[in-house]
Every structure is written in C-alpha cells, then in structure tokens.
Amino acid sequence: MISKRGIRQSSPMKRGRMRARRWLSSVTLHDTDRRSWFWAPWKRANIAGKASKVRKAGKRARDWGNYKPLHPITLAVGTLVLLLLVLAAGAWMWSTALDANNLPLDSLTPAEQVDIALRRTQIQLDAIRNALGVAAALGAVVALLLALRRQYVKERVDRDDLYVKQRTVAYAEVDATEKRITELYVKAAEQLGSEKAPIRMAGIYALERLADDTPGQRQTIVDLLCAYLRMPFNPSDIKVDLAASEIESDEQRTKLDIALREREVRLTIQSVLRRHLYQPDFSQPSSISGSSVPSSNSALSGVRPIRWDGVALNLAGASLLDLDFSSVEVDRAVFDGAVFFGKSMFSSSRWDHATFIGATFAGLADFREVQASVLAMSGSTFVQSAWFENVRCKVLDAIAVVFQSDSGFENAYFYDKGAFDSSLFLGNVGFDGARFGVAAFEGSLFGGRAGFPRCSFHDSINFRKATFDAEVEFEGSLVVRASLNRHVLPTGWSVGHYVGAESSAVVRFLGIESEPEDDYPTVIAMPSSQVGCCVRGGGTFGIRSGLGHAQFF
C-alpha cells in the first residue's frame, strides 16, 4: 500500500504479523526452544493456560473461605423461583387429573355420574395435596441448606475468632516477654553503672542470666560488657604489696579500695565472657596452662555453661587484667590498642578473624596452639616472653611488632603468609619446624639468636635489609616448589638444589681452609649433616654447618 507521499505503508495484516514477531522475540525460552521457533507460540499458550488454571484454582480456594451474608434480593428471587416451581408442579398435576377423568357422562347412569364426580374431586384434592407436599419438601430442603450454611459459617467464624484470640494472646505474651526483657536489661545496665562494686557485680550476673535465657539479646549484652571493659582504668593505682602502715592518708586508702573493687569487677566480666565462649577440644586433652574448664556456679554443680555462639568481641582500647581466653572459640574479635596487664592466655583458642593491632602485652603472652584464619598484630608490643608454638593460621600479620624478650614460633604453620616486616626481635627467637607460605622479614632486626632449623618455605623468602646481631641458623630448612629468584636470604646463606631432589636446601658457605699436611683444601659448610667429615682423594672435607642430609654437589 502506497500513500499519497509515495511512501510504502504496511497493511493491517502486515502490521499484525510484525507485532506477532515482536511478541515471539520477547518470549524468553531455552536455547533449544529458540531453535524450534515453530513450537514457541504453542508452548507460550500452554504455559499461559497452566498459569490461568493455577490462578483460577487459587481464586476458588480463596473464595471458598470468604463467605458473605446473602443479599435480600437474592433471597426474594430464590423464594419467587421456588413459588413458581410449586405453581408449575400443581398446574401440571391438576391438568393431568383432568385429563385422566375426562370421560363422556351422557351414556352413564346418574349413580355412575355421581361416582365419577366424586372420584374427580378426590383426584383434584390429591393433586393439590401433592403440590403442597412438593412445596413443603422444597422448602424443607432450602431450609436445611440454609441451616447447614449458617452452621458452617458460624463454625468458621468461631474458628477465626479462636485463631484471632490465640494470636492476640501469643502477641501479648511476646510483648510481655519483650517488655520484661527490656526492663531486666535496663535494670541490669543501671546496676552495672552503679558506683558501688557489689551492685555492679549483681548487674553482671543479671546480664549473664538474661543472655542465657534470651539468645537474641546475647550480642547486645556482650557489647555492653565489652563497653565496660573499654572504660579507662589504670591498674598501676593498685598497690597490693603496700603495707597498711605505708598508706599516708585515708584518701590513698580509699583510692586503693576503689581500684581493688574495680579490678574484681573487671575480672568477673572477663570470667563471664570466657565461661560462655569456652569450647574445649575433648579429642586431645591439652596440658597448656589456662586450658582447664572455667569455674562457675553451673560448672561446680555439674551443669556445663551455655555457649554464646555467634557473638563478636570488641575490646579495642580495653584494659584487661590477667586475661584468660584459653580454649575459647569466637568468630571475630577486636583487641586493637588494648593493654594486657599480667598474663595473657590465648592458648588453644580458635578465631576466624582476630586483630591485636597496636596492642601492648605487659606480661607473658601465650598463643600456643591458636587456630585462626587471620591473626593481625601489627604495631603490637610484647614486653615479656611471647609464645606461638603450634599456631595454625592462614595469615599472620606481625608487621612492626616489638618483641622485647624471647619469643617462640616452633612448629607454627603460616599457610599463606607470615609477615614480620620491620619487626624487632630484641631477645632470642625460634622458628624451629615452622612452615611458611610467604616468609617476609624485610627490615627486621634480630638482636638475639634467630633459629630457623627444619623450616619449610613454600613460597617466597624475603630477608631484605634484615639485621642480625647474633647467630642465625637454617639447619635442615627446605624450599619447596619456588623459584630461586624470589628469595632474599641473610648474608652468607643461599638456596641450593639437591641433585634429583624435589626440594631445595638453604645452604651457608663459610669459606675454604687448608691444613699443612693436606694436599687438598677443606670446604666448610655444604648442606647439613650429622657426619663429621668425608675423605676423598687424600683431602678432608669438614662439615661445620649442617642443613639436612648431606648431598654434595
């Protein structure tokens, strides 16, 4: 079809086909259905038909339960129809009776005519009685149906009323429970903020019981207890060894008493947290100190305390006293900037993500057998000994950490990375039998003996700009599946390949010595050994620094 302007226009049929193509292109089908384009409309129609059936079934199900009162017009029409039916039935019976008795009376005697008239009257009365009986039966059926409907609606209304009452009672109970929980929480929080230590202790135990009874409030209660521990506190005010005669004034004695009571309150909070985060490993009993079952009233009575699963700890900047978190299991814990006074026991604990960034450990720190995905300790300071034996973690971030005393990482596993860049090891440090993914010690200072015997390095090794003021040892250490150009070892040490071996050894070359009576010099160092010397061609090759089983190359 061409318009007056000479532009070809599409006919209505063609426009319909175009709309059909657009509709088919908009249908989302499987790749195989796209290839079978012929069946696409039929499948679409089938899907639409099934969806329509589902909608209708759902509508019927909804309408079945939504009964409404009958409208007066409906009742009037129903009554009228019923009356018409009764009248039609009576008229039919009347006409039938007349037809049955429509007999000629001229040929009959007067007595017979009287008899026939009586019989006709009786038939007419029977017809009327039958019509009325049918009407009564129909009325009874309708009345029965209405009664049944009324009874069903009444039962349904009663059931709905009962459901509403039950839901109302349930909601009222929930509201009452929540109100009671809120009141108990507010009261316990007020007790925790009291100036008197016994009242604060009562608030702590009230919060503990509330957390046991209401799992949904545990994180809130733990946050409140942690917030208390984050409040400023200086244990140096406690002078336990100070004799009473040395206290100059009542003010100092009062200050000391307040500090001692505050110390007991904080120790109670720490004990409550550990008691409900404790997760012992019964498969292998641990002999590490601090891993015994925590004491509590429930523990003494033979009932194991309820574990608070899924809670997180935020103790950033807290002052912690003789903290015992051994054998606890927590998903996430933050100790950034915290100060640990006295011993800090974390042995056999399990963490998903634990951070000690900028923390200060004034006493002994025990992290033996800790399991963690990420253990971040950058910028921390360990004033006394720190022990990390048998630690298992993916990443240990110990950048710029200061170890002022001895530290031990024997048999520790750092699966992905052990980062000790710019750290200060002022005492002796041992990594005997440790396993490293990435070993990073760039810019670190080792003031005492540094031992890396029997270590295995599975990725790069970096000791760039590291300083060793004492002996460093790599006896028996191996480099597994790593390229040589990625390693930076201390001066005098290198990675040497064994012939035919899958691993490489860390080797130290000390130099060459000669004795007057020998024709051959002595090569000092080579890979390890428990062997004293090896004689070859009259020369003696002494081995003074050992690393692994000796294989000369």
pLDDT at 7: 46
Structure tokens at 414: 């750092």
When pLDDT is cut at 50, 70 and 90, the band that residue 97 belongs to is low
Q: What kind and span of H or E run contains 487?
A: strand 487-488
Residue 17 to residues 2, 20, 29, 249, 281: CA-CA distances in angstroms? 19, 5, 20, 104, 73
The top-scoring range by mean pLDDT among 176-180, 293-297, 326-330, 474-478 is 326-330
Residue 549, pLDDT > 90, answer no
Share of the chain above pLDDT 90, in %: 37
More reliable by pLDDT, 161 or 356: 356
Residue 18, pLDDT > 80, answer no
pLDDT at 133: 80
What residue ranges do the domains of the chain occupy? 12-65, 72-184
More reliable by pLDDT, 27 or 68: 68
- Alpha-carbon distance 240 to 323, whole Å? 18
Give the relative orientation of helices 197-213 and 110-192 as an angle to the nearest 10 degrees: 150
Q: Phi/psi at 66 (nearest 5 deg)?
A: -105, 80
pLDDT at 548: 33
- Alpha-carbon distance 59 to 52, whole Å? 10
Characterise 300 by phi-psi region: left (phi > 0), alpha (psi -120 to 50), beta (else).
Answer: alpha
pLDDT at 527: 39
CB 79 within 8 A of CB 132: no
Q: What kind and span of H or E run contains 156?
A: helix 110-192
Lowest mean pLDDT among 46-50, 156-160, 170-174, 512-516: 512-516
Share of the chain above pLDDT 70, in %: 66
Mean model confidence pLDDT for the chain: 75
When pLDDT is cut at 50, 70 and 90, the band that residue 124 belongs to is confident
Q: How many other C-beta atoms can be found within 10 angstroms of the C-beta atom of residue 160?
A: 11
pLDDT at 89: 72
- Alpha-carbon distance 166 to 405, whole Å? 67
When pLDDT is cut at 50, 70 and 90, the band that residue 27 belongs to is very low
When pLDDT is cut at 50, 70 and 90, the band that residue 546 belongs to is very low
- Alpha-carbon distance 263 to 259, whole Å? 6
Q: How does pLDDT run across 145-178, given as a tens digit for each residue?
A: 778 878 888 888 888 888 888 888 888 888 888 8
Kindly write down the DSSP assignment for every residue of 403-450, as one continuous string.
Answer: E-S-EE-TT-EEEEEEE-TT-EE-S-EE-TT-EEEEEE-TT-EE-S-E
Residue 510, pLDDT > 90, answer no
- Alpha-carbon distance 450 to 527, whole Å? 19
More reliable by pLDDT, 448 or 237: 448
The top-scoring range by mean pLDDT among 117-121, 159-163, 352-356 is 352-356
Of 48, 69, 51, 261, nearest to 156 by C-alpha is 69
More reliable by pLDDT, 126 or 241: 126
Within 236-324, residue ranges assigned H as helices are 250-277, 297-300
Residue 105, pLDDT > 70, answer no
- Alpha-carbon distance 3 to 239, whole Å? 107
Q: How does pLDDT run across 389-445, given as a tens digit for each residue?
A: 999 999 999 999 999 999 999 999 999 999 999 999 999 999 999 999 999 999 999
Q: How many other C-beta atoms can be found within 10 angstroms of the C-beta atom of residue 164?
A: 10
- For the chain, state the CA radius of gyration: 48
What amino acid is encoded at 329 in this protein? E
Kindly write down the DSSP assignment for every residue of 33-99, as one continuous string.
Answer: HHH-GGGHHHHHHHHHHHHHHHHHHHHHHHHHH---PPPHHHHHHHHHHHHHHHHHHHHHHHHHHHH
Residue 20, pLDDT > 70, answer no
Structure tokens at 101: 């008795």
When pLDDT is cut at 50, 70 and 90, the band that residue 499 belongs to is very low
Q: HSE of 69 in the Cβ direction (CA atoms, 13 Å)?
A: 3
**How many residues are present in the chain?**
553
- Alpha-carbon distance 5 to 10, whole Å? 14
CB 307 within 8 A of CB 326: no
- Residue matched to tokens 């090759």: 541
Burial readout 320-345 (b: 16 or more C-beta within 10 A, e: otherwise) = bbbbbbbbbbbeebbbbbbbbbebbb
- Alpha-carbon distance 4 to 173, whole Å? 80
pLDDT at 4: 46
pLDDT at 550: 29
227 DSSP assignment = H
Q: How many other C-beta atoms can be found within 10 angstroms of the C-beta atom of residue 266?
A: 23
When pLDDT is cut at 50, 70 and 90, the band that residue 489 belongs to is confident
- Alpha-carbon distance 537 to 28, whole Å? 85
- Alpha-carbon distance 396 to 437, whole Å? 11
Which residues, in sequence order, are CB contacts of 139 under 8 Å at separation 6+? 82
When pLDDT is cut at 50, 70 and 90, the band that residue 11 belongs to is low
Residue 101, pLDDT > 80, answer no
pLDDT at 38: 40
Per-residue HEC secondary structure of 323-346 comes to CECCCEEEEEEECCCCEEECCEEC
